[in-house]
Amino acid sequence: MHNRIVMRIGEALGDAEPVELCAEPEVVIGALDGPVGHAFATLLGDQTKGHSRVLAILNPDVQVRPATLMVSKVTVKDEAYTNILMGTVQAAIANGVLDAVRYGDIAREHVYGLGIIVSVWLDPNILKLERIDHKMLFDVHRAAMSRAIHKALQNEPTIEWLLENQDAIVHENYQLGLDGEL
Protein backbone atom coordinates (compact mmCIF):
# COMPACT_ATOMS: atom_id res chain seq x y z
CA MET A 1 0.00 0.00 0.00
CA HIS A 2 1.46 3.36 -1.06
CA ASN A 3 1.64 5.92 1.79
CA ARG A 4 1.04 3.22 4.36
CA ILE A 5 -1.00 4.32 7.37
CA VAL A 6 0.28 2.42 10.40
CA MET A 7 -1.93 4.15 12.96
CA ARG A 8 -3.76 7.46 13.17
CA ILE A 9 -6.04 8.57 15.99
CA GLY A 10 -8.80 11.16 15.98
CA GLU A 11 -12.01 12.29 17.61
CA ALA A 12 -14.84 14.67 16.93
CA LEU A 13 -17.77 16.12 18.80
CA GLY A 14 -21.16 16.21 17.18
CA ASP A 15 -23.29 18.72 19.07
CA ALA A 16 -27.05 18.41 19.09
CA GLU A 17 -30.09 19.69 20.89
CA PRO A 18 -31.29 17.84 22.85
CA VAL A 19 -27.84 16.84 24.15
CA GLU A 20 -28.86 13.18 24.31
CA LEU A 21 -28.37 13.09 20.53
CA CYS A 22 -24.72 14.24 20.71
CA ALA A 23 -21.96 12.09 19.25
CA GLU A 24 -18.31 11.76 20.20
CA PRO A 25 -16.61 9.09 18.09
CA GLU A 26 -12.98 8.30 18.85
CA VAL A 27 -11.23 6.48 16.02
CA VAL A 28 -8.08 4.50 15.43
CA ILE A 29 -7.26 3.94 11.76
CA GLY A 30 -4.47 1.85 10.33
CA ALA A 31 -3.29 -0.98 8.15
CA LEU A 32 -4.98 -4.32 8.73
CA ASP A 33 -1.57 -6.02 8.58
CA GLY A 34 -0.26 -3.85 11.44
CA PRO A 35 -1.15 -3.04 15.05
CA VAL A 36 -4.63 -1.77 14.18
CA GLY A 37 -5.44 -5.02 12.39
CA HIS A 38 -4.18 -7.00 15.37
CA ALA A 39 -6.32 -4.93 17.75
CA PHE A 40 -9.31 -5.22 15.38
CA ALA A 41 -9.12 -9.04 15.31
CA THR A 42 -8.57 -9.26 19.06
CA LEU A 43 -11.53 -7.02 19.85
CA LEU A 44 -13.84 -8.79 17.41
CA GLY A 45 -12.90 -12.22 18.74
CA ASP A 46 -12.96 -11.35 22.43
CA GLN A 47 -16.48 -10.08 23.06
CA THR A 48 -17.33 -8.57 26.45
CA LYS A 49 -20.81 -8.58 27.98
CA GLY A 50 -22.33 -5.10 27.76
CA HIS A 51 -19.64 -3.87 25.34
CA SER A 52 -20.27 -5.93 22.22
CA ARG A 53 -18.06 -5.17 19.27
CA VAL A 54 -19.90 -5.08 15.96
CA LEU A 55 -18.99 -4.21 12.40
CA ALA A 56 -20.33 -0.96 10.99
CA ILE A 57 -22.98 -1.92 8.45
CA LEU A 58 -25.40 -0.08 6.23
CA ASN A 59 -27.91 -2.86 6.86
CA PRO A 60 -27.53 -6.52 7.81
CA ASP A 61 -25.32 -8.20 5.21
CA VAL A 62 -23.85 -4.89 3.92
CA GLN A 63 -20.54 -4.15 5.69
CA VAL A 64 -18.69 -0.94 4.84
CA ARG A 65 -15.12 -0.55 3.67
CA PRO A 66 -12.71 0.11 5.25
CA ALA A 67 -13.79 -2.53 7.73
CA THR A 68 -14.97 -0.66 10.81
CA LEU A 69 -15.46 -2.07 14.29
CA MET A 70 -17.76 -0.26 16.72
CA VAL A 71 -17.19 -0.47 20.48
CA SER A 72 -19.69 1.14 22.85
CA LYS A 73 -18.33 3.50 25.52
CA VAL A 74 -21.45 2.79 27.57
CA THR A 75 -22.32 -0.54 29.14
CA VAL A 76 -25.28 -1.77 27.11
CA LYS A 77 -27.99 -3.25 29.34
CA ASP A 78 -31.29 -2.39 27.70
CA GLU A 79 -32.91 -3.78 24.53
CA ALA A 80 -34.29 -0.38 23.48
CA TYR A 81 -30.83 1.19 23.86
CA THR A 82 -29.29 -1.72 21.94
CA ASN A 83 -31.74 -1.25 19.09
CA ILE A 84 -30.85 2.44 18.78
CA LEU A 85 -27.09 1.79 19.03
CA MET A 86 -27.17 -1.20 16.66
CA GLY A 87 -29.60 0.52 14.32
CA THR A 88 -29.59 4.26 13.84
CA VAL A 89 -26.10 4.87 15.23
CA GLN A 90 -24.53 1.83 13.54
CA ALA A 91 -25.88 2.92 10.16
CA ALA A 92 -24.74 6.50 10.81
CA ILE A 93 -21.20 5.33 11.62
CA ALA A 94 -21.16 3.23 8.44
CA ASN A 95 -22.32 6.18 6.36
CA GLY A 96 -19.73 8.45 7.99
CA VAL A 97 -17.00 6.01 6.93
CA LEU A 98 -18.27 6.02 3.35
CA ASP A 99 -18.47 9.82 3.41
CA ALA A 100 -14.78 9.91 4.37
CA VAL A 101 -14.03 7.82 1.27
CA ARG A 102 -16.31 9.96 -0.92
CA TYR A 103 -14.69 13.21 0.32
CA GLY A 104 -11.20 11.82 -0.32
CA ASP A 105 -10.03 11.56 3.28
CA ILE A 106 -9.56 7.83 2.70
CA ALA A 107 -8.20 6.97 -0.73
CA ARG A 108 -10.28 4.36 -2.53
CA GLU A 109 -7.19 2.28 -3.25
CA HIS A 110 -6.65 1.91 0.53
CA VAL A 111 -10.12 0.82 1.62
CA TYR A 112 -9.41 -2.93 1.60
CA GLY A 113 -6.15 -2.64 3.52
CA LEU A 114 -7.29 -0.33 6.32
CA GLY A 115 -9.26 -0.99 9.48
CA ILE A 116 -11.06 1.45 11.73
CA ILE A 117 -11.91 0.94 15.38
CA VAL A 118 -14.42 3.46 16.68
CA SER A 119 -15.41 4.00 20.28
CA VAL A 120 -19.02 5.18 20.11
CA TRP A 121 -20.91 7.39 22.57
CA LEU A 122 -24.69 7.11 22.77
CA ASP A 123 -26.07 8.91 25.81
CA PRO A 124 -28.01 6.42 27.98
CA ASN A 125 -30.44 9.25 28.77
CA ILE A 126 -31.69 9.04 25.18
CA LEU A 127 -34.25 6.53 26.48
CA LYS A 128 -35.74 9.25 28.72
CA LEU A 129 -36.65 11.46 25.77
CA GLU A 130 -40.35 11.69 25.02
CA ARG A 131 -39.59 11.32 21.32
CA ILE A 132 -36.26 10.42 19.70
CA ASP A 133 -35.50 12.23 16.47
CA HIS A 134 -33.77 9.35 14.67
CA LYS A 135 -33.02 11.49 11.61
CA MET A 136 -31.15 14.05 13.70
CA LEU A 137 -29.40 11.28 15.69
CA PHE A 138 -28.29 9.67 12.42
CA ASP A 139 -27.11 12.96 10.89
CA VAL A 140 -25.12 14.01 13.99
CA HIS A 141 -23.34 10.65 14.32
CA ARG A 142 -22.69 10.42 10.58
CA ALA A 143 -21.09 13.86 10.39
CA ALA A 144 -19.07 13.35 13.59
CA MET A 145 -17.69 10.04 12.32
CA SER A 146 -16.63 11.53 9.01
CA ARG A 147 -15.03 14.48 10.83
CA ALA A 148 -13.18 12.18 13.29
CA ILE A 149 -11.69 10.27 10.36
CA HIS A 150 -10.71 13.51 8.65
CA LYS A 151 -9.04 14.81 11.79
CA ALA A 152 -7.19 11.51 12.34
CA LEU A 153 -5.83 11.37 8.82
CA GLN A 154 -4.89 15.07 8.76
CA ASN A 155 -3.27 14.92 12.24
CA GLU A 156 -5.67 17.56 13.53
CA PRO A 157 -5.34 19.43 15.69
CA THR A 158 -1.65 20.01 15.00
CA ILE A 159 0.80 20.36 17.86
CA GLU A 160 1.41 23.95 16.78
CA TRP A 161 -2.30 24.79 17.12
CA LEU A 162 -2.52 22.99 20.48
CA LEU A 163 0.46 24.83 21.96
CA GLU A 164 -0.81 28.16 20.65
CA ASN A 165 -4.33 27.65 22.05
CA GLN A 166 -3.63 25.61 25.19
CA ASP A 167 -4.38 28.38 27.68
CA ALA A 168 -7.47 29.62 25.84
CA ILE A 169 -9.31 26.30 25.93
CA VAL A 170 -10.99 25.17 29.13
CA HIS A 171 -12.72 21.79 29.28
CA GLU A 172 -16.43 22.52 29.70
CA ASN A 173 -16.90 20.12 32.64
CA TYR A 174 -13.84 21.55 34.37
CA GLN A 175 -15.40 25.00 33.96
CA LEU A 176 -18.67 23.73 35.41
CA GLY A 177 -16.69 22.46 38.40
CA LEU A 178 -14.93 25.79 38.80
CA ASP A 179 -18.32 27.50 38.65
CA GLY A 180 -19.71 25.18 41.36
CA GLU A 181 -22.19 23.59 38.98
CA LEU A 182 -20.83 20.02 39.25
Kindly give the confidence (pLDDT) of every residue in the chain, 182 residues in length, as a single tens digit, with 9 standing for 90 and above: 457 899 999 999 999 999 999 999 999 999 999 999 999 999 999 877 777 899 999 999 999 999 999 999 988 888 999 999 999 999 999 999 999 999 999 999 999 999 999 999 999 999 999 999 999 999 999 999 999 999 999 999 999 999 999 999 999 899 999 999 99
DSSP reduced 3-state for 71: strand
Q: Which residues contact 107 (CB under 8 A, 6 or more apart)?
A: 3
Residue 51, pLDDT score: 76
Amino acid 20 reads E
What region, left, alpha or beta, does residue 104 occupy, with left being phi > 0 and alpha being psi -120 to 50 degrees? left
DSSP-assigned letter for residue 155: T
Cα separation, 181 vs 104, in Å, equals: 42
How much is the CA Rg of the chain, to the nearest whole Å? 17
Q: Is-cis flag, bond preceding 124, omega within 30?
A: no
Residue 46, pLDDT score: 85
Q: Give all domains of the chain, ordered by start, each with its CATH number.
A: 8-178 (3.30.230.60)
Residue 2, pLDDT score: 54
The H or E element containing residue 143 is helix 134-153
Cα separation, 50 vs 76, in Å, equals: 5
Q: Which residues contact 59 (CB under 8 A, 6 or more apart)?
A: 91
23, β-bridge pairs: 14
**Chain-centre distance for alpha carbon 65:** 15
